[in-house]
Amino acid sequence: MKGQSPMRLPCSSWCSFVAPLWVGVFLVAIAGSPQNAHAVHDGMHQVLLLGDSTTEGSVPRRLKPEGPHLERVLEQLLAAEEGLPPFQVTNSSQGGETIRRLLDSGRYERNGADLPGLDYIFIRYGINDRAKIENFVENFPKHFAELCERLRSDHPNAELIAMTVIPFSSEEASEEINGLIRNAAAKAGIDVFDIYPRYKDELSKGPNALNYRRYDLGKVPTKYLELVEPFVHGDRVEVMGNELDAILGGLPGWYSDRHPNLAGYNVIADETAKYLARRLREKAN
């Protein structure tokens, strides 16, 4: 239907967010010099989001499947910008993802290498990489470079854009990750979109306004079990925002999960739309 993005399902693999019905031949629209070429597919410029759970948003999708979620909000915000071409945004992200796992699991090879018509690929990794890979400081830049090499080979018309992480871990850990991202991006010759300052600024308005609450059901006092019953998913209590804060906010660890809720993803979408709109307009001048 005109004006609607493709169906997006909860993400359990790379292809969960990749539009499965992308078919046909895509046209290459040349605008000016070769470096400004864009591959138009389905009549729209294509944006791909690559990342971990802070890009995926599995819990908000489960709690509010109708969304709108990150990729749809980004499409809407770009459409609201005067003078921009139409965009389709695909979110191909995975909870727990590292760059190494993306490449070694075969997910990229099976479902990412042949995606048609990509113009912009936003890369946002680092949180899980720091926690899971050995010799993070040494190996993360290597993995980043390998991913960029694959993306350039498979999508030569796409512009690669590295993103910093959001304030998820401690400030010290975030600074370490983001420093490595900047250095790796510089070596790869790609730009960095720094989402961290905007997200941090929004958190200053309410430290828990941008994260959902996910809490072990076994830690909830018995007297509140009936209260939380509508919010139980498996062995967890999952709440999008502050609905239960007045009652359960004093429980140890109630606010410990820092994954974005829909408000958090709207911050990411808004800043991403501004960045991409500014980038396109600068190229046009």
The rounded mean pLDDT for the chain is 87
Residue type, 108: Y
pLDDT digits (tens, 9 = 90+) for 199-212: 999 999 999 999 99
pLDDT digits (tens, 9 = 90+) for 54-104: 999 999 999 999 999 999 999 999 999 999 999 999 999 999 999 999 999
Crossing angle of the two packed helices 196-203 and 262-284, in degrees rounded to 10: 140
Residue 223 in this model has a pLDDT that exceeds 60: yes
Is pTM beyond 0.95? Reply is no
Q: CA-CA distance, 222 to 228, in Å (whole number)? A: 10
Q: Tell me what pLDDT residue 5 has.
A: 39
What letter would DSSP give residue 256?
A: -
Domain 14-210+261-284 belongs to what architecture?
3-Layer(aba) Sandwich (3.40)
Q: Tell me what pLDDT residue 20 has.
A: 34
Burial of 239: CB neighbours in 10 Å, binned 0-12, 13-18, 19+: buried
Domain boundaries, the chain: 14-210+261-284, 213-256
Q: CA-CA distance, 34 to 49, in Å (whole number)? A: 24
What letter would DSSP give residue 22?
A: -
| Mean predicted confidence (pLDDT) in 235-262 | 98
pLDDT digits (tens, 9 = 90+) for 25-63: 222 222 222 333 344 566 788 999 999 999 999 999 999
3-state helix, strand, coil in the chain (%, to 5): 45, 15, 40
